[in-house]
Every structure is written in C-alpha cells, then in structure tokens.
Amino acid sequence: MSDGFKIAPEMDIMRLLSDFRLPVMPDMEALAAAQRRNFEALSAANRVALEGAQAVARRHMEILQQSMSEMTQVMQAATPGASPQDQAAKQAEMLKATYGRAVSNLQEIADMIQKSNTEALSLLNRRFAEAMEEVQKLMAKTP
C-alpha cells in the first residue's frame, strides 16, 4: 500500500523555484561601449608602436646616410703622400670617432624603441585598469 510520493512542506518545489534567481543580463549597451573602448585603446597602442617603428627606421636611414657621407669625406681627405705613422694615427683617430658615434647612435635608437614601447604599453595598461573598474561596476549593479 503506497500512498504515493509525498513532498515534505520544507521541500516545496514551487517555493524552491521562486527562490531560484537567474543571473541578470549585463547592460548590453555598457558592454558594447566597453568593447569599443578596448578596441580604441588597442588601435591607439598599435598606432603608437607603428609611429615609433617608423621614427626608428627614419633615424636609422639618417644615420646610414651620415655615415656614408663621413666615410666619403674621409676617403677624399686621405693624403697618399703621408708617412705610414701619420696615416695610422689618422686612421686610429677616425676609428675612435666612428666608434663613439656608433655607440651614441645605437643608444639613441634603443631609447626611441623603449619610449615607443612604454607609450604603447601605458595605453594598454590604462585601458585594462579601466576595464576592470567597469566590470566591478557592472557586477555591483547585479542584484
């Protein structure tokens, strides 16, 4: 003799279902705006990186042109009738000056690259921090 399946009053299914809450849909407009800002920040960072790379390439070309010009002047200034000691001293002086310029030029290019990378990363880091704040605000609106 079975009385059937009985549910205890504390296990009332309707009450359980009424207590069950579905997550609230996020504000789609706010979400779309956040994604738009993410895309804008990424585009700006790419623009900064590209401009930095172009500046480095331009400066590198200027350095090469300057080096070629200096080398041409040095070759023209070489005196064929000078003693071997004078020629060696002049070559050593030119080598020292060339080395100093090369080190300086490399440092300048490295600084340009670092500056460009720092600017691009700064844009992305700033947007990431903003995005985290936006997520917190969206989650705070959820009941």
User: Could you give the CA distance from residue 139 to residue 128 in angstroms, rounded to a whole number?
Assistant: 17
pLDDT tens by residue, 1-20: 455 555 555 556 666 666 66
Annotated domain spans of the chain: 25-74+84-141
Is the per-residue pLDDT at 86 higher than 80? yes
| Poorest-pLDDT segment among 46-50, 81-85, 115-119 | 81-85
Helix, strand, or coil here: 24? coil
Split at pLDDT 50, 70, 90, the class of 108 is very high
Is the per-residue pLDDT at 57 higher than 90? yes
Per-residue pLDDT at 16: 62
C-alpha to C-alpha distances, 79 to 53, 82, 86, 90, nearest whole angstrom: 41, 6, 9, 10
